[in-house]
Amino acid sequence: MTEPRTRVSRRIGAIAESATLKVDAKAKALKAAGRPIISYGAGEPDFPTPAHIVEAAVDAARDPKNHRYTPAAGLPELRQAIADKTARDSGWAVDASQVIVTNGGKQAVYQAFQTLIDDGDEVIVPAPYWTTYPEAIALAGGVMVDVFAGAETGYRVTVDQLEAARTPKTKALLFVSPSNPTGSVYDEAQTRAIGEWALEHGIWVISDEIYQNLTYDGQRALSIIEAVPALADQVVLVNGVAKTFAMTGWRVGWMVGPKDVIAAASNLQSHLSSNVSNVSQRAAIAALTGDQSVVDDMKVAFARRRTLMLDELARIPGFVSPAPGGAFYVYADVTGLLGREWGGQLISTSLELADYILEHADVAVVPGEAFGPSGYLRFSYALGDAELLEGIQRLQKLFA
Ligand SMILES: Cc1ncc(COP(=O)(O)O)c(C=O)c1O
């Protein structure tokens, strides 16, 4: 007997709404209704895009050559600027033909899995993980195998854990450093060990480097391809301008990889979305080739807020927050607060705890359930210092 048809296809019907966007939307709705909400939910810098980048876009919008279709894989000048950036920051000398410009890093993540994964292929993903990876893997017919690392290891998996998860079906490893949601950065030895393990077993590495330029305390997020150059034929880098240049709304990301993989991904993109907005691409050229000190200015603010956040969270009993090396998130282990009554209410999960915090302190945070296991809260520190402090002070009172 054939199964009845569903209105929405099973494949698309199975996709969950982005949990982080959901928290953000709820916080914004409550704020609009007049509640004094402080939100740590946002995954984006709160700064405006630097002026010289905006100016380049304004000029581009006035130039009729940008009013037409351009090559699906990206403007040649931008592909070259990305190749130069890859050499500069990821230590990998690539040709512009190894670059494809995508509609944000998110599309690059989606296309990387679509291009590499066949039905039943397994992809190892360190948990906690960014909420988009499981959906992008499932949409490619892949099977996500998550490997969890908790606060005690700074949320970093080991080669032994990866090896325990490896099967003959393992096709790829998702590697992300600095990580969303944990902000953790793998050190050089760890990155090299993981890269060598992947090389030895012929496992592709999809390395999400979107937070690569946002690191603190003198740490550097070494690219896995710089650590293990021999991975060049089995690596795809994913990156974009969103986080580094406060350009989340401009939608410019990219994939860098072996020529055949990039050519295949370009074929996909030529039917899916064609070229990214030329105005945004011109803005991205200005971002990548212009004055990089604008990034340093934003980093100074992030570094200050990170310290403030860690110091203040440390004063709340039950919050265990490893110092994150990068991105703009603190990932607090709150397992010590669960299974207890708060305000006369039994709270067993971080989802319930996040709801309780929103209800009773007007503070929005993203529960661990959005990124894997329960027991954690993600705080973004991409908000103003005064607000940031006030929100944590509200939590200090709530859990006093
Ligand atoms: C880990 C990670 N990768 C990729 C992205 C994609 O960023 P965008 O699509 O805005 O370029 C994000 C955004 O939140 C992210 O956190």
Residue nearest to atom 16 of ligand 1 (CA): 180
Higher pLDDT: 10 or 192? It is 192
* CATH code of the domain in which 308 resides: 3.90.1150.10
pLDDT at residue 70, as a whole number: 98
Of 257, 273, 289, the last residue of a domain is 289
Q: What is the CB < 6 Å shell around ligand 1?
A: 43, 104-106, 109, 130, 176, 180, 208, 210, 240, 242, 248, 253
User: Is residue 274 domain-shared with residue 328, that is, in the same domain?
Assistant: no
> Ligand 1 atom 14: the closest Cα is on which residue?
43
Last residue of a domain, one of 289, 324, 357: 289
Whether residue 1 is predicted with pLDDT greater than 60 in this model: the reply is no
Site to substitute for ligand 1 among 24, 103, 210, most atoms within 8 A of C-beta: 210
Cβ atoms of residues 127 and 180 within 8 Å: no
Q: What is the mean pLDDT of residues 240-260?
A: 97
How many domains in the chain? 2
> Of 236, 257, 289, at which residue does a domain stop?
289
Centre of ligand 1 from the C-alpha of residue 243, in Å: 8
| pLDDT exceeds 90 at position 227 | yes
Residue 56 in domain: no
Across the range 35-43, mean pLDDT stands at 92
Distance 269 CA to ligand 1 centre (A): 18
CATH code of the domain in which 266 resides: 3.40.640.10
**Does residue 216 sit in the same domain as residue 310?**
no
Chain-centroid distance of CA 373 in Å reads 18
Residues 208 and 228 in one domain: yes
60 located within any domain: no
220 shares its domain with 367: no
Checking if the pLDDT of 220 tops 90, the result is: yes
With the most atoms of ligand 1 within 8 angstroms of its CB, the residue from 132, 236, 366 to mutate is: 132
284 and 305 assigned to the same domain: no
Which protein residue's CA is at the shortest distance from atom 4 of ligand 1? 105
The verdict on residue 280 lying in a domain is yes
In the sheet where 122-127 sits, what is the strand order?
A: 99-102, 253-256, 235-240, 204-208, 170-176, 122-127, 143-148
Exposed e or buried b per residue across 277-297, where buried means at least 16 C-beta atoms within 10 angstroms of its C-beta: bbbbbbbbbbbbeeeeebbee
pLDDT, tens digit (0-9, with 9 covering 90-100), for 81-92? 999 999 999 999
Q: 331 lies in a domain?
A: yes
- Could you identify the residue written with the tokens 């005064």? 386
pLDDT grade for 381, boundaries at 50, 70 and 90:
very high
The residue whose CB lies within 8 Å of the most ligand 1 atoms, and thus the one to mutate among 109, 131, 366, is 109
User: With bands split at pLDDT 50, 70 and 90, how would you rate the model's confidence at 23?
Assistant: confident
Query: Which amino acid type is present at position 51?
Result: A
Residues 19 and 125 in one domain: no
Report yes or no: 35 and 28 within 8 Å, Cβ to Cβ: no
Q: Percentage of the chain with pLDDT > 70? A: 100
Q: Do residues 222 and 282 both lie within one domain?
A: yes
- Dist. CA 170 → ligand 1 center (Å): 24
Q: Give distance in angstroms: CA of 241 to centre of ligand 1.
A: 10
Place of tokens 């989606």: 110
pLDDT at residue 400 above 90?
no
Q: How far is the CA of 109 from the centre of ligand 1 (A)?
A: 9
Same domain membership, residue 261 and residue 123: yes
In angstroms, what is the span from residue 105 Cα to ligand 1's centroid? Answer: 5
Residues spanned by the domain of 378? 10-48+294-398
How far does the centroid of ligand 1 lie from the alpha carbon of residue 108, in Å?
9
- Mean of pLDDT values over 44-64: 96
Q: What are phi and psi of 223, to 5 degrees?
A: -70, 145
Q: What is the pLDDT of residues 145-157, one digit of tens each?
A: 999 999 999 999 9
pLDDT for position 2: 64
pTM of the model: 0.96
What integer pLDDT is reported at residue 115 of this predicted model?
98
Residue 97 pLDDT more than 80? yes
On whether both 265 and 311 belong to a single domain, the answer is no
Q: 366 with 389, same domain?
A: yes
Give the confidence band of 96 by pLDDT, cuts at 50, 70, 90.
Answer: very high
Q: Which runs of consecutive H residues, i.e. helices, occur in the chain?
A: 10-13, 19-32, 51-62, 76-90, 104-116, 132-139, 159-165, 188-200, 224-227, 259-272, 278-289, 293-313, 350-361, 385-398
Does the pLDDT of residue 200 top 60, yes or no? yes
Query: Are 162 and 298 in a shared domain?
Result: no
In angstroms, what is the span from residue 215 Cα to ligand 1's centroid? 16
For 189-194, the CB contacts below 8 A with 24+ separation are 190/156, 190/158, 191/222, 191/223, 191/224, 191/227, 192/222, 192/227, 192/228, 193/159, 194/157, 194/159, 194/162, 194/224
Tell me what the mean pLDDT of segment 231-237 comes to. Answer: 98
